[in-house]
């Protein structure tokens, strides 16, 4: 009996590289390119036609709006005021008195006093002033419902308070806000305003065109319906 042990060293096989099987141009048939259906052309042009129609429609709407808004005259004067009289006409102008921030958290209260709205040198002046420090430092309540001066329509627009326990304070600034809702309104026409507006931090001067609404507490209706 005999035993033998044999060993051998084999050389490694060469690496196998990936062979590209990319299809060359012209080797694959594309029958959908040879036969073109008319429906394909229609579908292709639908987005372009839609965009064109949209642009034309928008242009017509803008043109119609401008045609109705732009008037060359003649105009008749509905109301004019240069404040040369030295006083505000109470049948036209209303001083708004509120503490509710006018819906966007403004931290001033508007007053009806000459401290914040007055006429000086033939010009209407709306001037902000600081609140009484005692109303801010100690517990106090400003209740415009008791004085009957509030022009707001809800409790939050007419009552505010300082509470040193929970950290709330009355409006720290006083200012003015006036409107011509009582007696000057137009449906169509031109409005011209000449004013000098201040610039600075925490200032928000504004001149607004607002719809006229007749309100008494919670009951509101359009003025033209009432008349």
DSSP-derived secondary structure for 138-159 = S-EEEEHHHHT----SSGGGTE
Read off the tokens for 25: 């141009």
Does residue 218 register a pLDDT over 70? Answer: no
The predicted pLDDT at position 219 comes to 42
More confident residue, 4 or 89: 89
Question: Taking the complete model, does pTM exceed 0.85, yes or no?
Answer: no
**Across 32-59, average pLDDT:** 83
Q: What's the rounded Cα separation, in Å, for the pair 113 and 131?
A: 13
Cα gap 52→40, rounded to integer Å: 19
Cα of first residue to Cα of last residue in the chain, in angstroms, is 133
Q: Is the per-residue pLDDT at 186 higher than 50?
A: yes
Q: Please give the C-alpha separations between residue 70 and each of 56, 136, 177, 208, in angstroms, as whole numbers.
A: 21, 50, 30, 20
Three-state DSSP at 222 gives: strand
- pLDDT value at position 216? 43
Query: Span 144-171, mean pLDDT?
Result: 93
**CA atoms of 219 and 157, how far apart (whole Å):** 16
pLDDT in tens, 63-97: 888 876 666 667 788 889 989 888 899 999 999 99
At 3 the pLDDT is 44
What pLDDT score was predicted for residue 58? 95
The answer, yes or no, to whether residue 214 has pLDDT greater than 70, is no
pLDDT at 178 over 90: yes
| Mean local confidence (pLDDT), 123-137 | 93
């Amino acid at each position: 009996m005999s035993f033998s042990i044999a060993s051998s060293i084999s050389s490694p096989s060469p690496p196998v590289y990936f062979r590209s099987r990319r299809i060359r141009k012209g080797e694959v048939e594309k029958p959908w390119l040879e036969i073109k259906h008319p429906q394909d052309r229609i579908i292709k042009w639908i987005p372009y036609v839609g965009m064109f129609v949209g642009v034309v429609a928008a242009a017509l709407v803008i043109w119609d709006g401008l045609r109705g808004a732009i008037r060359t005259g003649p105009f008749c004067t509905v109301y004019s005021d240069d404040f040369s009289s030295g006083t505000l006409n109470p049948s036209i102008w209303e001083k708004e008195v509120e503490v509710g921030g006018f819906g966007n958290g403004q931290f001033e209260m508007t007053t009806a006093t000459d401290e914040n709205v007055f006429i000086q040198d033939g010009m209407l002046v709306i001037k902000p002033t600081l609140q009484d420090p005692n109303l801010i430092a100690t517990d106090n309540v400003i209740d415009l419902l008791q004085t009957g001066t509030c022009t707001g329509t809800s409790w939050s627009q007419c009552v505010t308070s300082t509470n040193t326990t929970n950290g709330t304070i009355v409006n720290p600034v006083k200012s003015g806000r006036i409107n011509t809702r009582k007696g000057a309104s137009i449906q169509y026409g031109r409005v011209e305003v000449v004013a000098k507006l201040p610039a600075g931090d925490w200032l928000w001067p504004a001149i607004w065109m607002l719809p006229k609404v007749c309100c008494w507490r919670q009951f509101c209706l359009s003025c033209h319906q009432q008349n």
